[in-house]
Amino acid sequence: MQSTIQKIELGKLAGIKNTLPFHNPFESIEYLKAMEDSQSASEQSGWIPEHLGKIESGQLVGLLPLYKKFNSYGEFIFDHQWANALQRAGRNYYPKLLTAVPFTPCEGDRILGNTDTNKIELIDTCIDKLKTEQIESWHVLFPNNAGKRILEQKELIERFNYRFVWRNNKYATFTDFLSIFTSRQRATIRKERQSIEKIGITFRCKKADEVTLEDWDIFYPFYQQTYLERGQSPYLKRDFFYQINTSNQKLKPVIFFAYQDGMPIAASLCFEGRNTLYGRHWGALTKVKNLHFECCYYQGIDYCINNNIKFFDPGVQGEHKIRRGFQPQIDSSFHYFLHSDLSAAVKNFCDSEKRQIENYIEACKAYTPFNKDYRIE
């Protein structure tokens, strides 16, 4: 039976078998649906679901997560200059179409399908939607190499960015990992970790099969505090984490709780993918020097070493990560524009920006904390 691309509502996929490849938690139906069911990603927050999908014989064989957006809130790729330029030209930049995981700057396939043909169909349908509705642009954020390979077959503009990622070179212990550093930086990291131990702060790691609703209630005020300190409201509502709890075994949350005098004082939240630990959120109700480094970086590195996880991606940007063993890595986004004038201007912008990013990456590599026998790839 012939099938076509159609608009998909995640809440109405019950009874439809999901045959899509599963590489990380964030592109799962469960994670995306938790965003919507909790009203974290909603019309009120600027994320209007317009997902496209392909169903064949009762099976979901293609999915393009897609949102109509009237702002650039929660994307981590900044396009305000483009919006302002188009507004000065007398045209509307918004609404725009966006393929991304809300509030989650982690790499993934983005164009989900069990064949390249299905993926290309989804892209073509999205571009047709752009033309039919006279929407100026479509943006695809943080695709992985598999996603890039598909997107490069179409006339999208690639914009380069960077992140810092830890690589597990089969370290036996954290001490083994420290051996690649210069003696000075090795001593600095040990001093940071010891400063936490000396004031009696201990840690407990809770994996997916151990995490409970009570743990999410403990975690949420920490997460909330991070945003309150900036004068902002949290992106994610408490109910989002309750929704995650119903799919812990698939989404694999990992929470590192920090305790002092038997009471939790901070926590960081990660998710475990196929070969990567993804750091997502953290917070603390009390300010303690070096607690952020321990809770967000060193606990995660320990976890990766102990569980043979190849990569640890703690989130975008942050040059301070270099001195703690995270290495610069290019990532990118892809952009399609309805009109050639804006497309040409953005292409020139991205070409210039690419050279700046490449120079920055080389400068980061020179700023290495590693000894002369270890080289950044």
Looking at the fold, whether 21 and 82 belong to one and the same domain comes out as: yes
Looking at the fold, whether 262 and 344 belong to one and the same domain comes out as: no
With helix as H, strand as E and coil as C, how does the chain read?
A: CCCCEEECCHHHCCCCEECCCCCCHHHCHHHHHHHHHCCCCCCCCCCEECCEEEEECCEEEEEECCEEECCCCCCCCCCHHHHHHHHHCCCCCCCEEEECCCCCCCCECCCEECCHHHHHHHHHHHHHHHHHHCCCEEEEECECHHHHHHHCCCCCEEEEEEEEEEECCCCCCHHHHHCCECHHHHHHHHHHHHHHHHCCEEEEEECCCCCCHHHHHHHHHHHHHHHHCCCCCCCCCHHHHHHHHCCHHHHCEEEEEEEECCEEEEEEEEEECCCEEEEEEEEECCCCCCHHHHHHHHHHHHHHHHCCCCEEECCECCHHHHHHCCEEEEEEEEEEECCHHHHHHHHHHHHHHHHHHHHHHHHHHHCCCECCCCCCC
What percent of the chain is predicted at pLDDT more than 70? 98
pLDDT of amino acid 377? 54
pLDDT of amino acid 315? 87
Residue 117 lies in a domain: yes
pLDDT of amino acid 343? 96
pLDDT of amino acid 1? 40
Q: Please state the domain count of the chain.
A: 2
Residues in the chain: 377
Nearest to 167 by CA among 304, 263, 54: 304
CA-to-CA distance for 41 and 56, rounded, in angstroms?
Answer: 28
Nearest to 50 by CA among 14, 21, 7: 7
- CATH number of the domain at 88, please: 3.40.630
95: cis peptide before it, omega within 30°?
A: yes
Looking at the fold, whether 202 and 265 belong to one and the same domain comes out as: yes
Q: What is the mean pLDDT of the chain?
A: 94
Looking at the fold, whether 152 and 64 belong to one and the same domain comes out as: yes
Looking at the fold, whether 192 and 223 belong to one and the same domain comes out as: yes
pLDDT of amino acid 44? 93
Q: Which residue has the tokens 């073509």?
A: 124
Looking at the fold, whether 248 and 344 belong to one and the same domain comes out as: no
Q: Where on the phi/psi map is residue 141: left (φ > 0), alpha (ψ -120 to 50), or beta?
A: beta
Looking at the fold, whether 37 and 133 belong to one and the same domain comes out as: yes
Tens digits of residue pLDDT in 280-326: 999 999 999 999 999 999 999 999 999 999 999 998 878 899 999 99
Tens digits of residue pLDDT in 49-85: 999 999 999 999 999 999 999 999 999 999 999 999 9
Residue 316 lies in a domain: no
Amino acid symbol at 55? I
Looking at the fold, whether 27 and 102 belong to one and the same domain comes out as: yes
Residue 50 lies in a domain: yes
Looking at the fold, whether 290 and 342 belong to one and the same domain comes out as: no
CA-to-CA distance for 155 and 279, rounded, in angstroms?
Answer: 32
Q: What is the average per-residue pLDDT within 207-229?
A: 97
Query: Is pLDDT of 43 > 80?
Result: yes
pTM for this model (two decimals): 0.95
Q: What is the average per-residue pLDDT within 6-16?
A: 93
Residue 343 lies in a domain: yes
Among the residue ranges 179-183, 211-215, 263-267, the one predicted with the least confidence is 179-183
Residue 53 belongs to what domain range? 5-163+329-365
Looking at the fold, whether 142 and 204 belong to one and the same domain comes out as: no
Instruction: For residue 369, give every residue at least 6 positions away whose Cβ sits within 8 Å of its Cβ, in sequence order, or none.
Output: 181, 182, 185, 322, 323, 324, 325
Direct distance between the N- and C-terminal alpha carbons of the chain, in angstroms, rounded to an integer: 49
Residue 375 lies in a domain: no
Alpha-carbon separation of residue 242 from 163, 179, 355 (angstroms): 29, 41, 43
Looking at the fold, whether 245 and 121 belong to one and the same domain comes out as: no
Looking at the fold, whether 138 and 17 belong to one and the same domain comes out as: yes
